[in-house]
Structure 1
């Protein structure tokens, strides 16, 4: 089966930002394939075709991308949205647990990107849109592994964009701030909890939940992703919404000491 519409593949499309993005891309005129670890076989709902996919598996990624190309003839846009959060002090998280976060948030992005690049280069066009975070350019205490993974996605994306741009392919970043989804509730809890950090961890978790509860609608992020997919002159980074733009501006313009103090104040840390 082929289509005259541009084809977009969205990972982690069963809920939250991914689901909203998939629907927004349908509205924008794309043939949209969404992926989920929970999907069984090939199903279609609300104009989105769903495939099962585990971004931590080389075989699963290869099979899913081959399925999409076989069905539709090409992939024009890849949205790397699948991700997992983390919580707790770094000392409370084992290396194995941090590796799990990186396997989804970083190596999952790399697996998916490597799988689509040959076809995008061959057709002379493609956009890889990586859903980063404001935590890709600011710190967040008690979420060190997650922040590190998003910093890694930022560096990977910007570097790769230089490698593939001459072949008509762009690698772009969308940077949400707090978003009102269930993402925080699904964050990986520390597997080595320590009483020493218990109270600080509790406060940090409250701050994170409040930040997301008061955050942007997933529609705000989806709008930025659609812009990245369709702009005639794409930008490397898209701040998703006014909160993300405000924080990005503060990071660039505030003196380092003032920004550091603001991070501690926001997270109710002493000193």
Structure 2
């Protein structure tokens, strides 16, 4: 039966930030279709329907989107939340590791966007919310490949927003900072660790872990996602949380040399 409620489709909604975003969108009046690679045994909250999805598979993405459109009659909002992290100096990460990361974090976003756009264009309305990161606008030492995926999502989102705006569709970004969602649990270690980087890598990883464990309440980020999905006149970027807003402002106005020096101090990097 077609849904009389607006429908939001969220990738990676079974845990972490995706689950909080799903709950926030349900509260905002949406029926949420959430995805996970394997939904076996998962018990979704009221207002959330779970579906299997592999964002690295063209066939899985096409089947999922077609199934949602057929079952609910509409997709009003897509939240591209599924992603993974990758730690280590760039020399320590194999090309295979980096290709997997880009396939999920970048091409997963592109696959999902391409799949929903035809349906949104027909209806002449829709909102695509891409989950970026503070590392999409500032460096992430010892997470260079991850940062590269988020920079890619930022540029992609801004460009596509210009392409689809005349069709009643907007593409916006949410940029969380450290968020207490267990991000470390979904971050892969380097497959070619080198002693030359071990000491500084360890310090940088500890700083990131501290920022995550002492970071924003995920409800705060979920509220930013709901705002990005529902604002009548959306902004392009939604830094999520006080720290993310502060860093976003600093990146724009602080001289590069000073920002660079402070970043190295924060990550305890030797000169």
Shorter-chain TM range is over 0.9
* Corresponding residue SS for 1:135: helix
1:129, 1:171 within 8 Å by CA — same for their partners in 2? Answer: yes
* Corresponding residue number in structure 1 for 2:246: 246
Q: Distance in 2 between matches of 1:193 and 1:20?
A: 34
Q: Greater shift after overlay, 32-41 or 153-162?
A: 32-41
1:231-254 CA-to-partner distances (Å, cap 9, x unmatched) read 111111111111110000110110
Q: Distance in 2 between matches of 1:66 and 1:44?
A: 21
CA RMSD of aligned residues (A): 1.2
Q: Distance in 2 between matches of 1:189 and 1:249?
A: 31
* Corresponding residue number in structure 2 for 1:10: 10
Equivalent residues in 2 for 1:77-156, closer than 5 Å: 77-156=77-156
Equivalent residues in 2 for 1:122-271, closer than 5 Å: 122-271=122-271
Q: Distance in 2 between matches of 1:170 and 1:178?
A: 26
2:3, 2:74 within 8 Å by CA — same for their partners in 1? Answer: no
Shift, 1:43, TM fit: 7.0
Q: How many matched pairs?
A: 271
1:40, 1:51 within 8 Å by CA — same for their partners in 2? Answer: no
- If the length of structure 1 is used for normalisation, what is the TM-score? 0.98
Q: Distance in 2 between matches of 1:184 and 1:92?
A: 18
Give the unaligned 5+ runs of structure 2.
none
* Corresponding residue SS for 2:86: coil
Give the unaligned 5+ runs of structure 1.
none
- If the length of structure 2 is used for normalisation, what is the TM-score? 0.98
